[in-house]
Amino acid sequence: MPLAFYVHDLSPFLGPHWGNFGLRYYGLSYLLGFLAAAWLLARYARAGRSQLPPERIADFIVALVVGVMLGGRIGSFLLYHPADIWRDPLSFFRVWEGGMASHGGMLGVAVTLAWFSRTEKIRFLHLADLITSVAPAGLLFGRIANFINGELWGTPTRVAWAVIFPASPHPLMPRHPSQLYEALLEGALLLALMQWRFWRSPAVAKSPGRLSGEFLLAYAVARAVGELFREPDASLILGLSRGTFYSLFFIVAGLALILRKSAPLEGK
């Protein structure tokens, strides 16, 4: 094996740990994602671009935490490993073993938005635009944590920046650090796009739902590109990786939101 390739040896824990217990980078990534979302939502409120009252941001974030965690966990089992829940039901609660699906997390967010919209009397599509403009921050931190964990590795390659992941199938070989590709595509680039559209266009005020549609469409494309370099972590569907296949539904939903006619927000 050429010595030029980096051999992944990062610990999933930040600082000391005891067995499976300790501060994990994966958990820290969720914390940073939600903190970034709260900070941006507060900025929106101060700029007069949000109908979410500043005093309700904390409650909104707490509701989103529940939606993301439940949706991501349920989605991991139903979308990627449905047999596991029947073979070992208790595995659902062993969160330290990993197992979160971004598509499931987004569906959990949608349910949370519907509930919060109804209870707070804030337009659903407006809340959706707010959260989709900040969601890529969480995706960015999450994908970096995937790399630190040495999971969701890429396909074999000989590029100079390839990484050897000890947890990957034997015989070990250099692989694409696809987690970092996805951090760039789904995280950094998508966050820049959403922030540019939020601040530099009247979409949120004039066409509620359009920004959400753009996010779904852009995420689906970014995910599909990233999947080209990622080793499938479950069986294929119609010849496509599951990440790509499930993203097709996001494309349909995104186009529907972009093409629909929506009344402007009141007072805007």
Specify if 97 maps to a domain.
Answer: yes
Residue 5 within any structural domain of the chain: no
Residue 16 inside a domain? The answer is no
Q: Element (H or E) spanning 227, and its range?
A: helix 210-227
From CA 49, how far away is CA 53, in angstroms rounded?
11
Pairing mode, strands 21-24 and 13-18: antiparallel
Q: What is the pLDDT of residue 227?
A: 97
Joined together, the tokens standing for residue 253 give: 């939903």
Token duo for residue 54? 């500043």
Q: Which residue has the tokens 């979160």?
A: 100
Residue 160 is given by DSSP the state T
Share of the chain above pLDDT 70, in %: 96
Number of domains in the chain: 1
Q: Label residues 199-209 b or e (16+ Cβ within 10 Å = b).
A: eeeebbbebbb
Q: Would 111 be classed as within a structural domain?
A: yes
Taking a C-beta distance cutoff of 8 angstroms, is the pair 76, 103 a contact? no
Q: pLDDT (tens digit, 9 = 90+) per residue, 166-205? A: 999 999 999 999 999 999 999 999 999 999 999 999 999 9
pLDDT score for 4 = 82
Beta-carbon contacts of 76 under 8 Å, excluding residues fewer than 6 positions away, are 99, 100, 101, 104
Task: Report how far residue 161's alpha carbon sits from residue 167's, in angstroms, rounded to the nearest whole number.
Answer: 18
Examine residue 182 and state whether it is found in any structural domain, yes or no.
yes
pLDDT at 259: 94
pLDDT at 82: 81
Could you tell me what percentage of the chain is helix, strand and coil, using 3-state DSSP and rounding each to the nearest 5?
65, 5, 30
109 contacts: CB under 8 Å, gap ≥ 6: 64, 67, 68, 71, 131, 135
Mean model confidence pLDDT for the chain: 93
Decide if pLDDT at 1 tops 60: no
pLDDT at 96: 60
Q: Evaluate whether residue 82 is within a structural domain.
A: yes
Q: Within 10 A of 28 (CB to CB), how many other CB atoms are there?
A: 16
- Note whether residue 70 is domain-resident: yes
Does 21 have pLDDT greater than 80? yes
Percent of the chain topping pLDDT 90: 81
On the 0-12 / 13-18 / 19+ scale of CB atoms within 10 A, 90 is: exposed
Domain housing 61: 21-259
| Residue 143: predicted pLDDT | 97
The model's pLDDT over 34-92, given as tens digits with 9 standing for 90+, comes to 999 999 999 999 999 999 999 999 999 999 999 999 999 999 888 888 877 778 877 77
Where is pLDDT greater, at 13 or 3?
13
pLDDT score of 111 more than 50: yes
Confidence of residue 254 (pLDDT cuts 50, 70, 90): very high
Pairwise pLDDT comparison (248 vs 85), residue with the higher score: 248
Report d(CA 145, CA 191) in Å as an integer.
17
* Predicted pLDDT at 95: 64
Asked whether residue 26 is domain-assigned, the answer is yes
Q: Are 163 and 204 in contact (CB under 8 A)?
A: no
What does residue 15 show for φ and ψ, rounded to 5 degrees?
90, -165
pLDDT for residue 268: 45
Q: Between residues 148 and 85, which one has the greater pLDDT? A: 148
Distances (CA, A) of 31 to 24, 110, 143, 158: 11, 20, 14, 35
Give me 131's structure tokens.
């959260």
